[in-house]
């Protein structure tokens, strides 16, 4: 029987995940179906219960349900626990296992696709919301010498760092205007690009060898990418992260990690 999966969100019609997973399944010869699932904003738990009842094997979770998914899971992986958010569910017998593959997807995109090692590097993480939270543990695991977290609301960044007390020696908090550059890698995990805004960091954060990645993606570079490129940085959007987090979720469900290069290339072509 064909195994069924879906991505749950609201809205969901824009999601690229069905196309990505269909390509992974075709590449690896896996018999599965992956569709979009629109859940009412107050109906996430009921939607998950329905999917389990219908025999679904798992689901991805996107805006606005990632925090609720972490609460609903009966078991969390360590990285989901650290993130406090879940983007991948595995329906395993009676268990609802919650994982977070966003951060490992981000690191895979930087290291494998962009070819930039994080080992010993200085990293600036802009934002302290769900995406930044999900990225922090996988980023720390990749071995940078320091991660500076800068956020509009300083208290939120301070609260995030306080949760990672074991890594305090490599973490620092800053307001946007006070960030002391340059950095090897800068990750925009704010949603400012949605409003065509750039976090007001000084231009000195960029150097000629800086990789600046915006987690957002679309059919043109974000204002942050334009700002970074204007100061000499190499820029990247969040499409590679999306493709890599999907590969991690696929591996979790199917026990095989698909290749991502051709999927990323084909998504870029149709952007």
The answer to whether residue 174 forms part of the interface with ligand NDP (CB under 6 A) is: no
The answer to whether residue 199 forms part of the interface with ligand NDP (CB under 6 A) is: yes
In angstroms, rounded to a whole number, what is the distance separating the alpha carbons of residues 65 and 70?
A: 9
Give the CB-nearest residue to ligand NDP.
129
Contact 125, 139 (CB under 8 A): yes
Of the residues 66, 121, 220, 256, which is catalytic?
66
Site string for ligand NDP, 75-114 (x = CB under 6 A): ---------------------------x------------
Q: How many residues bind ligand NDP (CB under 6 A)?
A: 27
Cα of 220 vs its chain's centroid, Å = 19
Site string for ligand NDP, 122-161 (x = CB under 6 A): -----xxxxxx------------------xxx--x-----
The answer to whether residue 58 forms part of the interface with ligand NDP (CB under 6 A) is: no
In angstroms, rounded to a whole number, what is the distance separating the alpha carbons of residues 152 and 116?
A: 27
The answer to whether residue 9 forms part of the interface with ligand NDP (CB under 6 A) is: no
Q: Which residue, 234, 249, 228, 241, is CA-closest to 267?
A: 241
Smallest distance, Å, CB 200 to ligand NDP?
Answer: 8
Clarify whether 66 is annotated catalytic.
yes
Q: Can you give the binding site for ligand NDP, defined by CB under 6 A?
A: 102, 127-132, 151-153, 156, 189-195, 197, 199, 215-217, 238, 241-242, 245
């Amino acid at each position: 029987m064909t195994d069924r999966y879906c991505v749950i969100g609201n809205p969901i019609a824009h999601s690229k995940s069905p196309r990505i997973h269909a390509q992974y399944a075709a590449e690896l010869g896996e018999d599965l179906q992956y569709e979009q699932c629109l859940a009412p904003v107050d109906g996430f738990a009921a939607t998950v219960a329905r999917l389990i009842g219908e025999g679904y094997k798992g689901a991805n979770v996107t805006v606005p349900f990632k925090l609720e998914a972490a609460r609903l899971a009966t078991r969390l992986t360590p990285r989901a626990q650290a993130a406090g958010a879940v983007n991948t569910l595995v329906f395993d017998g009676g268990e609802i296992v919650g994982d977070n593959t966003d951060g490992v997807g981000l690191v895979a995109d930087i290291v494998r696709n962009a070819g930039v090692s994080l080992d010993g590097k200085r990293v600036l993480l802009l934002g302290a919301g769900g995406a930044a939270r999900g990225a922090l543990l996988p980023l720390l695991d990749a071995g940078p010498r320091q991660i500076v977290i800068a956020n509009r609301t300083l208290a939120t960044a301070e609260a995030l760092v306080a949760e990672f007390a074991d890594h305090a020696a490599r973490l620092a908090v800053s307001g946007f205007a006070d960030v002391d550059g340059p950095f090897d890698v800068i990750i925009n995990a704010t949603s400012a690009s949605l409003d065509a805004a750039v976090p007001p960091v000084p231009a000195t954060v960029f150097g000629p060898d800086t990789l600046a990645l915006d987690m957002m993606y679309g059919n043109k570079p974000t204002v942050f990418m334009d700002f970074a490129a204007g100061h000499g940085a190499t820029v990247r959007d969040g499409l590679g992260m999306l493709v890599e987090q999907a590969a991690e979720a696929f591996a979790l469900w199917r026990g095989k990690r698909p290749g991502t290069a051709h999927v990323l290339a084909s998504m870029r072509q149709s952007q």
